[in-house]
Chain A
């Protein structure tokens, strides 16, 4: 095997092929076992229809050496997705759009005599606000009479978490971080309230489905395996199943209430209009100086400053821990057709870890970096005061995340810092501008800084030391 080749750990389950990286580029091997399906996907015209509509990632067939030549049918180079995100980092509407995209693809595939053989939420990625299916090897031939083999996975990856988010609590999307193959249906059923049973799709595809799973456990244990080989599911029933799932997904909603974060920049107490405008100008000026390819905005709120970056055509990932902020920002992206902004959920005090097999199947946030530039605006006082994190630890984390840093220091005398200190003893004698600068200067060079007008806040442009 080529020394530069690295097999991507997320695709090891699929016998149809695997992903690998070589010289910084991503490739997918199509194995001989998948030859028939791959040829049908391309030859039937399904690939062309799906890629034209932006539902499936496009690819080129390339002639390069295979890491596993004995099994290789073709090597394809898919269009690159700049930032891979995971379902537990998506807001409600992102997961809902991903679910509807999966079903749309399934319906198209059915028209061409094919069907999705898996319905993993991890097969969907976002290009801006648009979901796209990234696994070219997910398509199998449809055989008349067969049920949908991806049904259970669809229910676990999409319907169950969306129902729980809608009925119980939106933050329960974090169950996807624990359960790598989606929320088990018995767990979903027990978490959903009584009234969810009055919605046909939820009653059927979650509650009764979970019940049947349990019943089968009892029926089949030690008595042989149920094969279902003599059962048939007609085309109309198959379409009915997909239609029922689609109606169920469409019927689910979540309307965020206003939180302290969603109104953060709306309230007059946080920023005067002059300081807000000046802060925007400073960020714009620093961005023009460094001209980054990609920005991660940490603690982005509803994406006010993220959009300064994305409106310049800079690829921007806009992280926030408040589901209402991310939801609002994503809906704004969709409404405006924004192509360069990706809002995601992230708690920086506990960022996404590596999960799944060997903790490598889904990579941690830090393993998906570093990025060119990070914005850390109105963030440090939360980490230092609310989370008791010393400045050197904050600087350490940021050196792993970015090469350039635009960071705001808010002194203790600022009303926002005072709010954080109001309910607790002030044990933060180290929380001073000097200590902040000294701590960061060990790992970053301060290239520029400016006080925001009509405030005591200071914005710095820093560059990571080599």
Chain B
């Protein structure tokens, strides 16, 4: 699995900070980074506005929170579908 938050150009300048992700990899990413976080979080004295990082972070988790929201919205239908399937089996 390879997730890149920013891609640097030849001159070292971020080229619009492209974020590549997909939902399945994102879940892995969160679990892995979450695991790493169990060990440390250092103090951050950011030169850039931390709002930009929050902005990017939302993009990163967008697919996950969107999917979870849809599952929650249609939970009853999803549950009913699987229950029906199990009963038939």
Q: A151-B54, A220-B48 are in contact. Are A234 and B66 (CB under 8 A)?
A: yes
A230 x B16 contact (CB < 8 A) = yes
Which residues in B have their C-beta under 8 angstroms from that of A148?
58
**Contact, CB under 8 Å: A187 / B43:** yes
Give the CA-CA distance A320 to B22 in the complex, in Å. Answer: 51
Residues of B within 8 A of A187 (CB): 43
Residues in chain B near residue A241, CB distance under 8 A: 58, 61-62, 65
Q: Report the Cα distance A211→B62, complex, angstroms.
A: 17
Tell whether, in the assembled complex, residue A213 and residue B46 are in contact, meaning their CB atoms are under 8 Å apart. yes
Which of B16, B34, B46, B57 touches A217 (beta carbons < 8 Å)? B46
Contact B69 A216 (CB under 8 A): no
* Chain A: CB-nearest residue to B48: A220
Partner of A152, one of B42, B50, B61: B50
A213 to B38, CA, bound (A): 17
Q: Which residues of A contact B1 (CB under 8 A)?
A: none
Instruction: Tell whether A219 pairs with B44 under 8 Å between CB atoms, given A225-B52, A226-B14.
Output: no
Most buried by A among B5, B42, B44: B44
Q: Which residues of chain A have C-beta atoms less than 8 A from B62's C-beta?
A: 147, 233-234, 237, 240-241
8 Å CB interface, B64-82 against A: 64-70, 72
By a CB distance below 8 angstroms, the chain B residues around A231 are: 19, 56, 59
User: Is the beta-carbon distance between A210 and B44 smaller than 8 angstroms?
Assistant: yes
User: Which of the segments A60-68, A200-208, A368-376 contacts the partner chain?
Assistant: A200-208
List chain B residues, Cβ under 8 A from A149.
Answer: 51, 55
Whether B41 pairs with A213 at a CB distance below 8 angstroms is no
Other-chain residue from B42, B47, B55 in contact with A186 (beta carbon distance below 8 A): B42
Residue in chain A with minimal CB distance to B59:
A231
Interface size grouping (class) on chain B: 35 or more
Report how far A149 CA is from B49 CA in the complex, Å. 13
Q: Return the CB mask of B9-20 against A: 1 if under 8 Å, else 0.
A: 000111011110
The number of chain A residues with a CB under 8 A from chain B is: 48
B8 at the A/B interface (Cβ < 8 Å)? yes
Given A190-B43, A220-B48, A237-B63, A215:B5 Cβ within 8 A: yes
Interface residue? B87 (CB, 8 A): no
A268 contacts chain B at the CB level, 8 A cutoff: no
Is B83 engaged at the interface, CB distance under 8 Å to the other chain?
no
Scan A235-247; emit 1 where CB is below 8 A from any B CB, else 0.
Answer: 0110111011000
Contacts of B43 in A (CB 8 A): 186-187, 190
Task: Name the residue of chain B whose CB is nearest to the CB of A191.
Answer: B41
Known contacts A152-B51, A207-B37, A226-B48; decide if A212 and B63 are in contact (CB<8 Å): no
Q: A190-B43, A209-B57, A228-B59 are in contact. Are A244 and B48 (CB under 8 A)?
A: no
Give the distance in Å from the alpha carbon of A226 to the alpha carbon of B64 in the complex.
22
Chain B residues in 8 Å Cβ range of A152: 50-51, 54
> Among the listed A197, A208, A220, which residue makes an inter-chain contact with B57, where contact means beta carbons less than 8 Å apart?
A208
Question: Is the C-beta of A221 less than 8 angstroms from some C-beta in chain B?
Answer: yes
Cβ–Cβ contact A244 & B65, under 8 A: yes
* Structural contact, B33 and A223, CB atoms closer than 8 A: no
CB neighbours (8 Å) of A234 from chain B are 62, 66
The 3 A-B residue pairs with the shortest CB-CB distance, nearest first, are A240-B69, A237-B66, A152-B54
> Can you sample 20 A-B contacts with CB below 8 Å?
A147-B55, A155-B54, A184-B44, A197-B38, A203-B37, A207-B37, A211-B33, A212-B60, A214-B46, A223-B14, A226-B6, A227-B16, A230-B16, A233-B62, A234-B66, A239-B69, A240-B64, A240-B66, A240-B70, A241-B58
